[in-house]
A and B are shown apart, each in its own frame.
Chain A
Amino acid sequence: MFIGATAALLVAMALTLIRAFAGPTLFDRVLAANSFGTKTVLLIGVLGFLTDRPEFLDIALLYALVNFIGTIAVLKFFRYRNLGLSNTEAADREEID
């Protein structure tokens, strides 16, 4: 039954990639990338059980953390075109444009 879950997740990831490449807006792509990351976490977990090596869950946990930070970082970069702005600088930049 882990094989079935793995196959379903792989199909879902392929379909998510289609959405990520098709767009049409930036936010569709970010949403698809975030969803792809969540499915990767699940796939690593299921694959760990499938191959009787559940130690893979450490990698899944790490990937879940990286995925969330990555999504927020991409959104921040496309809003301010900069990742190192402080709060006040960011507020100033919003006033300008």
Chain B
Amino acid sequence: MEMILYIASGALLAAGSFLVLVGTIGMLRLPDFFTRLHAAGITDTLGAELLLIGMMLQAGFSLITVKLILISLFIFFTSPTATHAVANAARTMGLKPALVPDEDIETTSVRRGSAK
């Protein structure tokens, strides 16, 4: 049983490390800001959660696992929120996707205040 847990947590840690690296390389290589958001998403969601679950299997039933669950829940909810906030700020300040032709971008203002 211990052996199975050890192998499973090793596999999860390896997969998590791999996904973190893939997301980081994507963030370095992709052409513009809005595409880099996708790469950052890989790191923040699946990569982080797999690493934390791998650590949970090592820790067993203890206070450490409770802390790990708290961390993973927190990252699970705040990462998409932070990513959305960055994307929203970029869009509001007029940053345009580099790969989309100009005629395909909506020209209406996205500012909240201008609706009045």
Contact = CB atoms under 8 A, between A and B. Distances in A.
Q: Specify whether A and B are partners.
A: yes
A68 B78 contact: yes
Interface residues on A, range: 35 or more
A71 B85 contact: yes
Mostly helix, strand, loop or mixed at chain A's interface? helix
Interface residues of B, number: 52
Contact of B86 (A1, A75, A94): A75
Contacts of A42: 20, 48, 51-52
Contact of A4 (B14, B64, B71, B85): B14
A19 B78 CA distance: 21
Nearest to A22: B28
B71 A1 contact: no
A64 B79 CA distance: 10
B89 A41 contact: no
A95 B85 CA distance: 20
Given A31-B33, A35-B44, A64 B16 contact: no
Contacts of A58: 67
A6 B23 CA distance: 16
Interface in A1-19: 1-2, 4-5, 8-9, 11-12, 15-16, 18-19
19 contacts: A1-B13, A4-B14, A12-B21, A28-B33, A31-B83, A38-B48, A38-B75, A39-B43, A42-B48, A46-B51, A57-B67, A57-B71, A61-B67, A61-B70, A64-B75, A71-B85, A75-B86, A91-B112, A95-B113
Interface of B: 9-10, 13-14, 16-18, 20-21, 23-25, 27-28, 33, 36-37, 40, 43-44, 48, 51-52, 54-55, 58-59, 64, 67-68, 70-71, 74-75, 78-79, 81-83, 85-87, 89-90, 92-93, 95, 111-114, 116
